[in-house]
A = this chain, B = another copy of it.
Amino acid sequence: MRAPTWKWFIEYTHPTQAHMHGVRRFIYSGKTEYQVVEVIDTEFFGRCLVLDGKIQSAEYDEYIYHETLIQPAMVLHPKPEKVMVVGGGEGAVLREILRHPGVQRVVMVDIDREVVELCKKYLPGWHQGAFDDPRVEVLHMDARRYLEGTGEKFDVIFMDLTEPVDDGPSYLLFTREFYRTVSDRLSADGIITLQAGSFNPRLIECHAAICNTLATAFPVVRSYSSYIPSYDAVWGFALASAGYDPLLLSPAEVDRRIASRGITKLKYYDGETHIGMFAVPKDIRLAKESETRIIEDGCPLITY
């Protein structure tokens, strides 16, 4: 008897669009102070972390998501030593950051302690022990409050947040006011990178608004993207800085920096991948240009 498929996880991405994932096993289901958490083993994508009904990352392709989020900024920065992560509960962002031998300190601020504990337990393939690295400090508090209070400066700050849904924990971390705070806490040549919404042309306003908002605080803002199969979509990211520009990095230079730092285990990112990521199709460029919205505390971005 072929294994029957009668358990499904259905992820709605729009009131009239959904993706059905056949599930081998539902591993964990619970509610933290901030969100609903599920760990499920899908037949196609393997183990998945689901927050508030949306797949955050999947065993089968988390390397794409996490290398895309982390490696461009880490490689672009010539000497990243102090790094901050907002969110990133799975620990895979730590894993990717710690590949760079020059890193001396990583502060991860994830408000949801329970999610981090669940990831430690259920997603060992993601963090691969990164939480135990002595260079890592993990804090559970509001990232905005942390940044406002700290005197520390960082070379790179990563925002690995859930999408800014209505009553979710993250919507005040996408605003002009917040990016100004981030800018203050970056070193003079610092870089910020964040996941930044779908690259589906019809849903691009979210990404465009994030880029517009970053541009109020940073002179260089670049869109880039990767295909995340478990999202059934090409997903957008944004990198911003006071000066470093990923478009000026040649593929050969990307490969050279990776090699010179002794990094050997990247599965997705290299020079050619870099070029593809930062090439934005014409329709997306045009759509971005027509979006003028800037996200503010008093008028936050809320996605479906």
Contact = CB atoms under 8 A, between A and B. Distances in A.
B283 A272 contact: no
Contact of A4 (B36, B202, B273): B36
Contact of A272 (B14, B53, B285): B285
A128 interface: no
Interface-centre pick from A5, A6, A18 (highest chain B CB count, 10 A): A6
A8 B40 CA distance: 13
B267 A273 contact: no
Given A7-B38, A233-B229, A281 B285 contact: no
B9 A9 contact: no
Given A268-B282, A268-B283, A276-B279, A9 B6 contact: yes
Given A25-B29, A268-B283, A272-B285, A19 B232 contact: yes
Contact of A9 (B7, B50, B232): B7
Interface residues of A, number: 64
Contacts of A233: 227, 229, 232
Interface in A117-171: 166-167
Contact of A281 (B4, B36, B43, B276): B276
Contacts of A50: 6
A106 to B, nearest CB: 25
Interface string A263-304: 000111110110111011111011000000000000000000
Interface in A204-257: 226-227, 229, 232-234
Contacts of A53: 4, 6
Interface in A12-29: 12, 14-23, 25-26, 29
A10 interface: yes
Given A16-B22, A268-B283, A283-B64, A200 B229 contact: yes
B201 A61 contact: yes
A52 B1 CA distance: 10
A4 B17 CA distance: 13
Given A201-B61, A273-B279, A16 B38 contact: no
